[in-house]
Amino acid sequence: MLQIIANGFYFGLVQDGMEMLPCQYHRLWRITHDLIGFRQGEVFGVYSISQLQVVHAPVLPAAIPYFKQADFSGKGKTTRPRMVSDYGTFEKHSMYLERCDYLLWRNDKLYLKAPEGVVVIDRQKGLRAIPVKNPNICDNLVGQRCLYEGEYGDPTLAKRHQFRYKSAYDQRIDEAEFLEAFAKGGDTDFSLFTGSADFEDLDEEDEEPDEVPVYKTYDYDAIPAAIKAKLHQHLDQLTNNKTYDWLARVLIYMAWCHANDYVTYTRLGEMVLDPEYALPPEDAEHIFDAAMLYEAHHMDQLQHLLYLSPITNTYYEVLANEN
């Protein structure tokens, strides 16, 4: 049986007691039914459950450019590159693949930039490298993908050439801190986006994604007793009276959403739970100062305990016994 092992914030895999992946990776996630991604910093590799081995070394770029909405009305300088486009004004950040790969699938294929050129993950056929006749395709197609923060805070797929630097100062920031810059005017072959390039299924690159994220199920009763005890002990130490059970449940639910990346914050600091996810526990709808309550109870110190593995559908109960 394949199981996840954890050591603090690092994870690995064991099979019947034998180590398959060392416990040194920041995140594990399911790419397909057979393939598991394992990320270490800015790169990731791929492990096959059926083959019981790594099918691609952890050298694949794990970060996708992500442009977050920003207000540049102030005169102060920013440490992030500022970008403008028809979608609005943005700051350049990045998002790791485990949070957004569902946006990048095309006809059951996921194309990835790799040291050898381009790697494709097929839901049915697994992972393989594909030959690329045009050396610019890797950078101009796979490298052109990016995400931007949409109207409702959700990541939306776009092309990098649709965004331009606000000033030369911002381009210098990007070159210095991100070690990459957008192609200068005239360098990008836009025929690559019209289907004329010699690339497998390239003419379908601009179709809307069919994939939707598969959300985890929140179940308070399924949280291991050791983790719930740790959380309630933490909450009870912050008040003279025992924390109301319904409030504790709300705070634990919020911590669970934070741990599993279902929370975003607006520019005003307001907490927004994923609108496509489940409703909060009963009696939670009248709590409008959720972010303030969450901060006041220091729930960020323990939220990592509530990360639910999408691979094994289990919690890392051993973490609750640390310290």
Q: State which residues of the chain have pLDDT below 50.
A: 75-76, 178-213, 323
Position 152 scores a pLDDT of: 81
Token pair in block for residue 197: 């390039």
Position 212 scores a pLDDT of: 42
Position 54 scores a pLDDT of: 93
Position 241 scores a pLDDT of: 57
- Ordered by start, the domain boundaries in the chain are 2-58, 62-204, 220-321
Pairing of strands 63-69, 145-149: parallel
Q: pTM for this structure?
A: 0.54
Position 289 scores a pLDDT of: 60
Long-range contacts of 123-127 (CB under 8 A, 24+ apart): 123/32, 123/33, 126/32, 126/34, 126/35, 126/48, 126/55, 127/35, 127/46, 127/48, 127/55, 127/56
pLDDT 10s digits, 191-249: 333 333 333 444 444 343 344 445 677 788 889 999 999 998 888 887 655 556 777 88
Token pair in block for residue 55: 């099918």
Let me know if 167 is exposed, middle or buried by CB neighbors in 10 A (0-12, 13-18, 19+): exposed
Position 148 scores a pLDDT of: 92
Position 185 scores a pLDDT of: 38
Position 210 scores a pLDDT of: 41
Position 129 scores a pLDDT of: 83
Would you give the DSSP letter of residue 201? T
